[in-house]
Amino acid sequence: VLVLVRSPLPRLRALLQRCWGRLERGLWPSVFGGQSPPWGAALAVQGLALVPQGINDAEAPSLLESVVWMAAPKHRRTIEVNRCRRRNPNKLIEVKRNIDVCPECGNLKQKHVLCGYCYAKVKEETRLIRMEIYKKEGGPFNTPTVETVVLYEGEKPTEKDEGKRIIERARKRPSWFVQN
Amino acid sequence: GAAWARGLLSWARPERWLASGSLFPLSCIHTSTSLQQIGKIGKWEKKNRIVYPPQLPGEPRRPAEIYHCRREIKYSKDKMWYLAKLIKGMSIDQALAQLEFSDKKGAKVIKEVLLEAQEMAVRKHNVEFKSNLHIAESQTGRGRYVKRVRCHGKGMFGMMKISRCHYFVKLVEGPPPPPEPPKTGFDQAKEYVQQLRNRTLVHTL
């Protein structure tokens, strides 16, 4: 059944064609269930698909001239073919050969990356130092224009730390934080 | 269906209705259809319960086997399969190393499962060294799927499925078995020639 839609607006025509297609297939309101029907060749009908009525009245409008064919799968891929594709060695995860043991803490680390445990340790200590700095400064934009020195329990500022700002931390100096 | 019938029969058991002073505690437990929510023991969990008879003095030592699994992991079974295939046949230390530096979501889950299984092995299954384990089997299974609506533009909608998976692992005591050498053309040719030589006449003198 050929339905000729005499509508000047291409968008409305396209929408009506879509609606009609869905009605024909009984999918209104469209619910895409699990079973997909075997796809055939799909037509992409452009705006000016309608053959002007004045030229050929007796012949049916030829579809081959004014229609663009889109790619669509012709047959269902069997599970054997799917398995060959999914289990191809290029899709499997490669075994990593760049994992070592960190000499400091003994955890695993990648060769080109810092050890996660040591980094977390340093990050935590930095966070506590920053909290001390925040307490000393009191607010934003109060950073002094001098260097900062972090001193732990039982440490005195040396003559090198003359004009520097001193931040006190109430714990023993960690072994990895070397004092200048 | 069968579980429902069983539930009905258990309700209609005659001894339950006998008016007696003593009610056995077991008869009060009803087998209902919604046994999955209560906690049905799966086949993999039951494999840990088998007890072998004691070994005779001359027999070689049977290596310890530990079965562990995790159910209803929020991940796709196909994506989890790649990780399971990665660690199949590795020693447990190597597997943990690979999973630690993998970027996949399932790697974290599998690592937890392996650590739990290792702990179980040392505590309950009489394994001496926790590093002396290798992964004999590692499989994924499909969990319960849930269908949901996925909204598209222009008021359109589709149905999406939220997939979950199970992960099963079997640890065996001992070093990992050496990998099989890949089959060469020469081996295949030898097999072919052997097949030709095995041909004979049937149903004859």
Work out the percent of chain B whose per-residue pLDDT is above 70. 82
Read out DSSP for A14-43? HHHHHHHHHHHHT-SSP---SPPPPP-PEE
CB atoms within 10 A of CB B68: 21
CA distance B170 to B175: 14
Domain count for chain B:
1
Longest dimension (CA), chain B: 81
Quote ipTM for the complex: 0.70
In a domain, B90, yes or no: yes
Token duo for residue B188: 């295949």
CB contacts, 8 Å: B100 with chain A: 99, 108
Contact A118, A104 (CB under 8 A): yes
Q: What is the pLDDT of residues A118-159, one digit of tens each?
A: 999 999 999 999 999 999 999 999 999 999 999 999 989 999
Residue B102 contacts A, CB cutoff 8 Å: yes
Residue B159 and residue A95: Cβ atoms within 8 Å?
A: no
In a domain, B72, yes or no: yes
Residue A43's contacts (CB-CB under 8 Å, 6 or more residues apart) are A63, A67, A69, A70
Task: Tell me which residue range forms the domain holding B146.
Answer: 62-174
Residue A96 and residue B101: Cβ atoms within 8 Å?
A: yes
pLDDT tens digits in sequence order for chain B, 205 residues long: 455 555 555 555 554 554 444 445 555 555 544 445 677 899 999 999 999 999 999 999 999 999 999 999 999 999 999 999 999 999 999 999 999 999 999 999 999 999 999 999 999 999 999 999 999 999 999 999 999 999 999 999 999 999 999 999 999 999 999 999 999 999 999 999 999 999 999 999 8
- Give the 3-state secondary structure of residue A119: helix
CA distance B109 to B140: 12
Task: For chain A, give every domain's residue range.
Answer: 108-168
Residue B72 contacts A, CB cutoff 8 Å: no
Residue A6's alpha-carbon distances to A3, A15, A65, in angstroms, are 9, 13, 20
Residue A108 contacts B, CB cutoff 8 Å: yes
Contact A137, A153 (CB under 8 A): no
CATH of the domain at B83: 3.90.470.10
Residue A96 contacts B, CB cutoff 8 Å: yes
- Give the 3-state secondary structure of residue B83: helix
Contact B15, B27 (CB under 8 A): yes
CB contacts, 8 Å: A93 with chain B: 82-83, 85-86, 102, 104
Residue B159 and residue A86: Cβ atoms within 8 Å?
A: no
pTM attached to this predicted model: 0.69
pLDDT given for residue A53 in this prediction: 58
Number of H helices, E strands in chain B: 8, 5
Mind telling me how many Å the CA of B85 is from chain A's nearest CA? 8
